[in-house]
A and B are shown apart, each in its own frame.
Chain A
Amino acid sequence: MKMKKLAAAAVATLMVGAPAMAELVFPSLSYRTGPFAAGGIPYADGYADYFTLLNERDGGIGGVKVSVPECETAYNTEKGVECYESTKGMGALLYNPLSTGITYQLIPKATADDIPLYTPGYGRTSAANGNVFSHVFNFPANYWNGASAAVNYVLSLNNGSLEGKKITLLHFNGAYGKEPIPTLTKLAEKHGFEFNAIPVDYPGQEQKSQWLQIRREKPDYVLFWGWGVMNQVAIQEAANIRFPMENFIGVWWSGAEHDVTPAGAAANGYKAVAFHGVGSDYPVFDDIQKYVVDSGKAAGNGTNVGTVIYNRGVYAAMLVAEAARKAQEIHGTADITSSMMRDGLEQLEITDARMKELGMEGFGPAFSVSCENHGGPGTAAISQWDASAGKWSLITEFAPSDMDVIQPLIDADSAAYAAENNIAPQCK
């Protein structure tokens, strides 16, 4: 009986105390279990650790602490939607669903709930059109930017001409993997290269026939849109058929340490498109080490700091935090709502000077978001794996993608979505 009273008192105290503890709530739809956990864990760690850094070092954002409640999706779309429904009542300001499938499901829901979605480097590419997708933001780069960046890079290796060259896309046989096909088809027409796509079904553990086909057709370059075990198998199979690794270029979801290490030295020279910096040679990581890892507040065991996917989580969190700061500035209040957060995202401006202040100079591009452009600059660089050193390095600068080809595709796809859903243009 005494215990019951104590428990009731504790619950009552928590309930009374809760409204007084204003927090900026950014739920993390993570996947630490299931077949894609190897990629989900470092991302979730990086995302959480950056907010922990802000709490520990700066006292939060604008004096308000940040809360990052995690909900496990196991990269499953239904679970992701359940996570959204179960956490939005906590005062969620923004969702970063970390899955293209979950993003597609949440676009209409989140828009109706006036909660913004942030999908950097994944999700629905045409959501870059803010005129149609008022609550979705996918800056600084999307899949079509990634495809264009890969082709631009290949162009640079071939003195600006791809006439007579053959490029193959090896891709996950689902929405994510098929995303770059329209862009690559258009780019093939523009630059005169031969393009074909070879799908791989989930999970991609067996890719023998695909790589035999590549061996027969002898493409000059293979672009790669994979995730999970498909990445490790593809890189090993490429090595097996002795495909030149430097001509094998993955998208940013196919270019992490755990993708290349199983193949060992054979993976040396493999490349991947990147939309942010690699490694830990930025002051922000020293702060993460000092305030988060060393003080025992890291989401993981700290070994992921500086790895590609961890960095992506940090970068996403930084941009979300900057947008929250902007929202506080616009609306003159530290305790912002999800609607205000949307405004902050739409008026976000990242300058080189600000990146330096944040300890991330050169980590990502300077850019600004607008009502019409939710996709940012669309810049990307190429990274390459050095197996002996065991690290990724950027081998190009961040460069713009071919918006002459991409923008009409974004306009067409978003116009079709607007027509299907009776969406009026939101920008005046």
Chain B
Amino acid sequence: MPEQLLFAMEVTLNGLMAGVLYALVALGFVLIFKASGIFNFAQGMLVVFAAMTLVGVQQGQVPFAHLINTIFGTKVHDFGWTVPTFLAIIVAGAAMVFVAWIIEKYILHHLVGQPDIILFMATIGMWYFMHGFAPLMWGSEVMKLDVGLAQGLNDPVLNATEALFGYGFFLDNLDIVAAVIAAILVASLVLFSQYTKQGRAMRAVADDHQAALSVGISLRFIWVLVWSLAGVVALVAGIMWGSKSGVQISLAEVALKALPVLMLGGCTSIPGAIIGGLIIGVGEQLFEFAIGPLVGGATQAWFAYVLALIFLIFRPQGLFGEKIIERV
């Protein structure tokens, strides 16, 4: 088999894996948009906050240590204990539920009935607030995230492709784990929304707030539920991305990777987020492989948006988005 074809196959495989990671971030956007029509600009910061909380709890770090030390002249930094990973994940998940409750109680509750653009602006405000609040709570240092996930070259894939093609493919163990977790997450979310009472209520709210209210569904509960789910998805995305780079404020930038996925997959479809992520992942990696060297490289940042725009021209609602028809 020609060498270039083998390389292209390897790039495609890795593009699919990168796409899964993009999709993990996009899922959080989709959940909130689907249920409330809010495009949550702060989703990237939820990823940061969730990951910081996980590491902070895991390492027994004192929240707001810098602030406490400045005010009281103390020198506290950590409690002197570490928390088992599983327990730390549970605590971080609970923290995200608490954040969801705070957001509903103090922001969204006061904006019921406001135009979508107002809700969108509120999430921009939340982004900026959390951008300051997260480092204030956990510090600005790069935090090492270790939840025991394997990283690096996957030897079975390497050996199998070496034996088959004479060229061993690179595949990151962490990407394989991310793909499995994403599949479980999507399946769970689909089952939850299809087969549980709360899930059906969530879909009802997504279809029509007023109608849902009229049959006794609590809008407040559904919003807390949806933001909690988005927070948990953010925690999963934070674990995956944070394992690669350490946890730091720039993790919020991964949201930029989710935007073309949403444009392509549609803002209201969970499977759309996955398919969109895969198309963007493969598209940008193959483009960089084939065309990147001819145009100076580093094409991924903009090519994903070009690809999404092309789809948008032909299908504005995205591949799986709902086409909204308004009758006069």
Contacts and interface: CB of A to CB of B under 8 A. Distances in A.
Given A173-B298, A199-B296, A35 B151 contact: no
Interface string B205-233: 00000000000000000000000000000
B7 A236 contact: no
Contacts of B296: 199
Interface string A317-337: 000000000000000000000
A205 B151 contact: no
A208 B140 contact: no
B18 A208 contact: yes
Listed residue (A36, A38, A206, A213) with the most chain B CB atoms within 10 angstroms of its CB: A206
A296 B250 CA distance: 30
B285 A208 contact: yes
Contact of B11 (A32, A206, A209, A303): A209
A213 B8 CA distance: 11
A366 B246 CA distance: 38
Contacts of B301: 201-202
B253 A35 contact: yes
A203 B298 CA distance: 11
Given A209-B300, A240-B153, A262-B245, A37 B135 contact: yes
Interface in B103-140: 131-132, 135, 140
Contacts of A209: 11, 14, 284-285, 288-289, 292, 300
Given A209-B285, A301-B77, A229 B151 contact: no
Interface string A189-225: 0000000001111110110111011011000000000
A41 to B, nearest CB: 6
B241 interface: yes
B141 interface: yes
Interface size class of B (residues with CB under 8 A): 35 or more
Nearest to A239: B152
A202 B300 CA distance: 11
Interface in A250-294: 258-259, 261-262, 264, 266
A116 B73 CA distance: 37
Contact of A216 (B7, B135, B140, B249): B7
A240 B297 contact: no
Contacts of B7: 212, 216
Contacts of B145: 262
Given A41-B140, A206-B257, A261-B142, A35 B297 contact: no
A34 interface: yes
A41 B248 CA distance: 13
Given A209-B292, A215-B170, A266 B144 contact: no
A228 interface: yes
Interface string A227-258: 01100110011011110000000000000001
A407 interface: no
Contacts of B152: 239-240, 242, 266
B18 to A, nearest CB: 5
Nearest to B152: A240
Nearest to B7: A216
Nearest to B301: A201
A261 B245 CA distance: 10
A208 B288 CA distance: 10
B246 A33 contact: no
Q: Which of B14, B285, B300 is packed against the most chain A CB atoms within 10 Å?
A: B300
A258 B141 contact: yes
Contacts of A201: 298, 300-301
Nearest to B249: A35
A187 B284 CA distance: 33
Nearest to B168: A215
B188 interface: no
Given A262-B246, A301-B66, 17 more contacts: A33-B135, A33-B249, A35-B253, A203-B253, A205-B245, A209-B14, A209-B289, A209-B300, A212-B11, A212-B289, A228-B250, A232-B248, A258-B246, A262-B142, A262-B145, A266-B151, A266-B152
Interface of A: 32-38, 41, 173, 198-203, 205-206, 208-210, 212-213, 215-216, 228-229, 232-233, 236-237, 239-242, 258-259, 261-262, 264, 266, 296, 301, 303
